Each structure stands twice: as structure tokens, then as C-alpha cells.
A and B are shown apart, each in its own frame.
Chain A
Amino acid sequence: MVRLTKGAGRGIMTPADRLLLLFMVAAALLMFVLPLGGRGGRGHSVVVEGAGGFLETMSLMEDGELVVPGPKGDTIVVVEAGRVRIDSSPCRQHICIRMGRISTPGSSIVCVPNEVVVTVRGEGRPAIDAVTR
């Protein structure tokens, strides 16, 4: 039988033991807390796909412009102030331009006639799961 007296207790737990115990408790807490990620992720990059296997990535952190060749001509994709939009397109109805600017992970703009798909990538769950339009 081990009787823990005041004196004996001081001998059992060395400073290293206490540090280890603290580390384990912290690790255990982290394991349970970390997977509970919330919503509201922010996009960090844009994947632009075009006809014939065209594939480019743009950063949302810096402004830029990309010319995407397609069956009807060039579509121009523009990143501005952390958002992406289609600036000009040779398609007839310009639905892609009217889709406006996007920035949340998973959201996308598509130009069906010129076969261009712009998708925002990012960390975390998006603030919204889908957009009805």
C-alpha cells in the first residue's frame, strides 16, 4: 500500500512530471476543441478552369487579371480587393458578368458558352452552403 503523506507527495511529482501532466491535459483539451471549427471561412485563392484543360490559380490576396481563352474568345477574370469577378466575356448574354464579385470558399462563377469556371478556394466552412439565384 502506498500512503501519500505530505512529505512523500513532494517526492513523487518532479517539476518535469508536473510539466508532462500539464502538457497532457492541454493536449487532451485541444483534441476535443480543435475539430469544432466554425463557419465563416475566407477565400484565399481562385481556381480558373477553361476549355481544353486550361487551369490557373490566382491569389485573392493580391489584385490581378487573367485572360482565359475559350471557344468564343477571351474571358477576362479580375481579382480586386479580395474578390473575383468576370470583367469581360465574349458570351451573348453576359450572365457570368452579372453574377458579380465573389469571395467565399466554394462559391463560383461560370460562363457556360465560353466554358469558364471560376471557383474560390479557402479554409474553413463557408458562411453559406449554397446560393440560389
Chain B
Amino acid sequence: MNASRTRTAWQIAAVVLIVVLMVIFAVRKANEPKTLTEHKLLMGTIVKITAIDPDERILQGAIDEAFAAIAHLDSVATRFSPRSAVEAINSRSPGEERLYIDLDVSTIICRSQAISLMTDGAFDVTVAPLIDLWVFDEGADLPSDTEIREALSTVGYGRIRLHPTTGALTLATDVHIDLDGIAKGRAVDKAYDRLRIAGVDAAVIDAGGDVRMLGLPPDGESWRVGLKHPRRDGLLGVLSLGNGSVATSGDYQRFMIKDGVRYHHILDPSTGLPARGIVSVTIVTERCEDADALATAVFVLGARRGMRFVERTDGVEAVIVTGSEEIEEILISSGLDGRFERSELD
């Protein structure tokens, strides 16, 4: 009799245990982070947003908001749309030197000016006339010295002024601007803000290699950001990072080889020619607009001056790859010590 009761008790306990396990499983499942990834063609590249949160309902809305923010920047900050704010600046009438412009564009110009000052003009948004001279199609002609000299005479970040309170932009008559070296980073930052405000736990925004991370991945460790190998398929290495941004400028993105010489799109605003001595620069810092612009600036500054600038600037780190057709050296700033690993992953 006792044995029979005990067996019944054991069977009840077993059923209770199964129910408890099922409840624990259901609760764990509900709290498990859900991941949603979407991509769109924006800013002249593919933009991929991955958002992670236990609450699946907020993910779609947050990603839609983030893409909307990028789409707005795409429409106002490009030189190649007749209705953009940048085109309005560049096609202003003679005598129209003072303009009131889109707030986002004015914010980008303001930050560009600060970075130009920090880097002695190695980054400069007034290089538009120089950019227009260079065509990187196979067999294209190089611009002549005269053309470069003429274009250089219009370049200079000191030739534009942004009023700090009214936001009025004053430009010299012949100045044209190009925000491609910073606008993509700014768009990533805007998307980041939207995701953060929506309450998303963690996210990665990747706009053609301009990357910003929010929070930490579900395993609680670090994000792993690969650096494209500048001279072949696959990765040069991997950075293990927390919350922050990464952007790269490289001589392999837009270039042509003419008479055995590589001509690429990263132009030195002081010479009008492609900057030499560096193959790629990857910048790690908090805001993606800074990473974007500083990658260009450090490339132009060169390896020694560039690394000196990085080491003395708080919150900015870099991986600089030197060489020409072959990689000579990989320089890593002190703040990335132990965070960069050479890799053969792709």
C-alpha cells in the first residue's frame, strides 16, 4: 500500500517537474534575443542593419526608422541629386554667398570644419573640383598640371564659414563642396540614434564598410569587425570591439593603374594628387562620421604624421597599412593593443 502511494507521489512529482521544465523553457525562449537583419541600397552602397532584442515587435519599426534616417541623408547630402541641399549650395547663383541650408547638412559641414582644423586640412570638403578632374575608368586620361592647379585655387576649408547660431553658410564664389567623405558616417550615426531611441538592445549598422555597433552581441563578448585585405580576397585581420564605430579608407576602392602606377580616389587637398605611402587606414572611434572623415585625413597625413595624430587624440585608434603594390607594414595604435588579430578568415 505504502509502496503504491509512494509511486503515485513519484509520478505526480515527475509530472510537476516536466511542467516546471516546460515553463522554464518557455520563459527562456521568450527572453532569448531575436535578430532581424535588413539591407537597402542607399548612399551609393548597400546598407545592412542587424538589430537584436528579446522584444521582436520593436525590431521592424526600429529598423524602418533607421533606414528612413539614412534615406533622408542620402537625399540631402549627395552632389548628384538636383534637389539635394549640397547641389543647392554648389549651383548657387553668382552673388549668392550666404545660404540657409538643411540642418543635417549644416551639422555635417560644421563637423567637417572641426576635423579640417584638427588635421591641418588633410580632410577638406571643398575638394569637389579636384574630385571632378579624376576619372578612374580603365584607360582614362590623367588631369593635366594646369587643370589641377586651377582646381586647387578653389580649394580650402577656410573659404567656407558656418555661423554658429544662425546656421548661415557663407562661401567664397568659386567654392564647391563634396560631403562623400563624411556623409555616410553621419547617416550611420543617425540610424544608430534611431535604434537606440527605439530601445533596441544591440545592433550593427554597416553602410558599405562604415560600421557602428550598439550595445554588445548576445554572447556578451565583443563585436568582431573584419578589415578587408587591401590587396586580395578575404580579410587582413579582425578587430574585437565594444560600442563604437569603424571606417576604412583604402587605395583599392576606386582606382586605375596607368603605366604601372596606381591612381586612387583619396586626394591630398594640398597637391590635388592621390596621397602616397599608405594602402589603407582603419579608424576606430565613437562616432561614425568622425571615423569616416578621419580615415581619409590620416591617409592623407601619411603613416608617421597620421599615427602621431591618432596617438595624441583621445578616443581615436587606427590600423594603418603601409606600402604600395605590396603591403610593407601594419601599424596599430596603442589603444588597439590586443584587439587586432591577423586573420585568414573571409
Residue of A nearest to B209 (CB): A133
CB distance from B39 to the nearest CB of A (A): 7
Asked if residues B41 and A129 are in contact (CB atoms below 8 Å), the reply is: no
Contact of A131 with B50 in the complex, beta carbons under 8 Å: no
A95 and B211: CB pair below 8 A? no
Query: CA A100 – CA B252 in complex, angstroms?
Result: 12
Is B81 part of the binding interface, using a Cβ–Cβ cutoff of 8 Å?
no
Interface of chain A residues 88 through 107 with chain B (CB within 8 A): 92-93, 95, 98, 100-104, 106-107
Contact A130 B137 (CB under 8 A): no
Asked if A35 is an interface residue, CB under 8 A from chain B, the answer is: yes
Contact of B137 among A13, A93, A112, A133 (CB under 8 A): A93
The interface residues of chain A lying within 8 Å CB-to-CB of B2 are: 2, 8
- In the assembled complex, A117 has its CB within 8 A of some CB on chain B: yes
Render A26-51 as a binary contact track against B, CB cut-off 8 A, 1 for contact: 01100100011011000000000000
Instruction: Tell whether, in the assembled complex, residue B45 and residue A112 are in contact, meaning their CB atoms are under 8 Å apart.
Output: yes
B50 and A106 within 8 A (CB): yes
How far is B233's CA from A102's CA once the two chains are assembled, in angstroms?
8
CB of A75 within 8 A of chain B? no
Q: Which residues of B contact A107 (CB under 8 A)?
A: 346
Residues of A within 8 A of B219 (CB): 36, 38-39, 125
B302 within 8 A of partner (CB): no
**Complex contact A95–B248 (CB within 8 A):** no
- List residues 241-259 of chain B with CB under 8 A from any CB of chain A: 246-248, 250, 252-254
**Minimum Cβ distance to chain B for residue A89 (Å):** 13
* Contact between chains at B37 and A106 (CB < 8 Å): yes
What are 8 sample pairs from A and B whose C-beta atoms fall under 8 A apart? A8-B2, A100-B232, A100-B233, A112-B45, A131-B226, A132-B228, A132-B248, A133-B250
**CB of B17 closer than 8 Å to a CB of A:** yes
B interface, over-half SS: mixed
Bound complex: CA of A59 vs CA of B130, how far in Å?
45
Q: Which residues of B contact A (CB under 8 A)?
A: 2-3, 5-7, 9-10, 14, 17-18, 21, 24-25, 28, 32, 37, 39, 41, 44-46, 48, 50, 136-137, 204, 206, 208-211, 213, 217, 219, 223-228, 232-235, 238, 246-248, 250, 252-254, 282, 345-346
Known: A100-B234, A132-B226. 20 other contacts (CB 8 A): A4-B6, A8-B6, A11-B3, A12-B7, A17-B14, A24-B17, A39-B224, A93-B136, A93-B254, A112-B46, A117-B41, A119-B39, A127-B224, A129-B224, A130-B48, A130-B206, A130-B225, A130-B246, A131-B228, A132-B210
Distance in Å from the Cβ of B42 to the closest Cβ of chain A? 10
Q: Size range of the interface on A? A: 35 or more
A132 and B211 contact, Cβ closer than 8 Å, known pairs A2-B5, A12-B3, A119-B39 = yes
Closest 4 CB pairs of A and B: A100-B233, A133-B228, A133-B209, A110-B46
Contact with B along A1-21 (1 / 0, CB 8 A): 010100010011110010011
Q: Are A132 and B204 in contact (CB under 8 A)?
A: no
- In whole angstroms, what is the CA distance A93 to B252 when docked? 11
Q: Which residue in B5, B10, B137, B246 is a CB contact (below 8 Å) of A92?
A: B137
Please indicate the chain B residues that have their CB under 8 angstroms from the CB of A110 in the complex: 41, 45-46, 208
Decide if B253 touches A95 in the complex (CB within 8 Å).
yes
- A61: Cβ under 8 A from any B Cβ: no
> Is A115's beta carbon under 8 Å from chain B?
yes
Complex interface: chain A residues within 8 A of B39 (CB): 108, 117, 119
Nearest Cβ on chain A to B290's Cβ, whole angstroms: 14
How far does the alpha carbon of A13 sit from the alpha carbon of B14 in the complex, in Å? Answer: 12
Instruction: Give Cα A35 to B136, complex, Å.
Output: 49
Distance in angstroms from A31 CB to nearest chain B CB is: 5
In angstroms, Cα B208 to Cα A110, docked, is 9
Residue of B nearest to A21 (CB): B14
